[in-house]
Amino acid sequence: MIPVTPPPTETAARPPREKKSLPSFVWPLMALATILVIVGLIEPAFFSIRIVEGRLYGSLVDIVYRGTPIMLIALGMAVVIGTSGIDLSVGSVVAIASAVMAHYIHEGWDPASVIAISLAAGLACGLWNGFLVAALGIQPIIATLILMVAGRGMALMINGGRIPTFRSDFFSFVSSGSIWIIPTRLFLVVGVALILWALLRRTAFGLFVEAVGANPSAARLTGIATRTVTLGAYGIAGVCAALAGLVITGDTRSSDAVNVGMWSELDAILAVVLGGASLSGGRIYLATTLLGVLIIQSLTTSILMTGLPPEYNLVVKAVVILAVLLIQAPKLRIQVANLAAAFRGRGAK
């Protein structure tokens, strides 16, 4: 059995915080293993991995391969959720990056410039969200809803109302090619995860994000530039979503502004939560977020594999995800108790 994407060693750098509590990756990993084992029992061919035309093929490879766009989006989402925010606009940012990419490929730009301008578009979207949240104080869910709605319209305008197609050997290689026998896009995800990990854990940015998410008032009084930190978090989410847009568009060789990245924000949020993060912020888990994406993707793929009618897909997915979330409930209970204690402390004053 081939191991799934090597998770960045985030958990190794941060020892468990409470005595006797398991490392944060245990529950999502167990959930993923359980799903894979059950599917494997029903359909033994699930685990078979072959090398065809010099690259890996098989259901497990397929899960990782198809999961990469959401992985990219979810990594950025994890940072935003760490600030106790949320970004609903990532799906539309995917569409914008996709449209920008198609446009400049048609303009004849070289791949490096196309990548640069597409990512810049994603960054601009993220900073816009961050501006609404941090500077204007709009609630994140509303602030990002604006771009969620407007973004697809902007992408449509860039595309001129059509679905432009293109040929680009470079982007085909990045998206659906492989280096040796391993899909290229996996390197991209691992690379982004490592860069983010370094940014969060090898600078103080991660600590500041978590401080802002856990207690904005205290963070401000300690001197953290809370607005800048929030702005940065949304900027990261924008760039990550744009990267996902490049990967998806490179694969389809067309920019469908109406459908590309549709509902990806919900999968990304779900992946972050499955990874053990709380929507109330204060903690960022990159490695388990990736596991969360794999859980979601392996459900989708395995439902198709086991021959369950596709119309059951969404319901089964919902039931399994609810179960996974409930498994993590003891942790939730501790958090609730902590919150209640903090609240009582404040109320008694």
Max Cα distance, the chain (Å): 70
Cβ atoms < 10 Å from Cβ of 262: 14
Q: Which stretch binds other proteins (CB under 8 A): 90-98, 106-114, 174-182, 339-347?
A: 339-347
- Regarding 17 and contact with other proteins (CB under 8 A), the answer is yes
User: What is the pattern of x (binds other proteins, CB under 8 A) and - over residues 261-300?
Assistant: ---------------------xx-----------------
Q: Which is nearer to other proteins, 218 or 308 (CB)?
A: 218
Q: Which is nearer to other proteins, 221 or 315 (CB)?
A: 221
- Regarding 9 and contact with other proteins (CB under 8 A), the answer is no
Q: Kindly write down the DSSP assignment for every residue of 88-153, as one continuous string.
A: TTHHHHHHHHHHHHHHHHHTT--HHHHHHHHHHHHHHHHHHHHIIIIIS---HHHHHHHHHHHHHH
- Regarding 171 and contact with other proteins (CB under 8 A), the answer is no
- Regarding 137 and contact with other proteins (CB under 8 A), the answer is no
Helix (H) or strand (E) holding 218: helix 216-221
- Regarding 338 and contact with other proteins (CB under 8 A), the answer is yes
Length of the chain (residues): 349
Q: Identify residue 213 by its one-letter amino acid code.
A: G
- Regarding 197 and contact with other proteins (CB under 8 A), the answer is no
Q: Which is nearer to other proteins, 232 or 261 (CB)?
A: 232
- Residue (of 238, 242, 222, 229) closest to 135 by Cα position: 229
How many residues touch other proteins under the rule CB under 8 A: the total is 31
- Regarding 331 and contact with other proteins (CB under 8 A), the answer is no
**3-class state of residue 165 by DSSP:** strand
* Least Cβ distance, residue 229 to other proteins (angstroms): 8
Q: Which stretch binds other proteins (CB under 8 A): 110-118, 150-158, 211-219, 321-329?
A: 211-219
* Least Cβ distance, residue 37 to other proteins (angstroms): 34
53: left (phi over 0), alpha (psi -120 to 50) or beta: left
| Alpha carbons 133 and 230: distance in angstroms, whole number | 8
Q: SS3 sequence, 249-290?
A: HHHHCECCCCCCCCCHHHHHHHHHHHCCCCCCCCCCCHHHHH
**26 alpha-carbon distance from chain centroid:** 19
Q: Which stretch binds other proteins (CB under 8 A): 45-53, 88-96, 168-176, 201-209?
A: 201-209
- Regarding 20 and contact with other proteins (CB under 8 A), the answer is no
- Regarding 346 and contact with other proteins (CB under 8 A), the answer is yes
CB 55 within 8 A of CB 181: yes
- Regarding 185 and contact with other proteins (CB under 8 A), the answer is no
> Footprint of other proteins on this chain (CB under 8 A)?
15, 17-18, 202-205, 207-208, 210-211, 214-215, 217-225, 229, 282-283, 338, 341-342, 345-346, 349
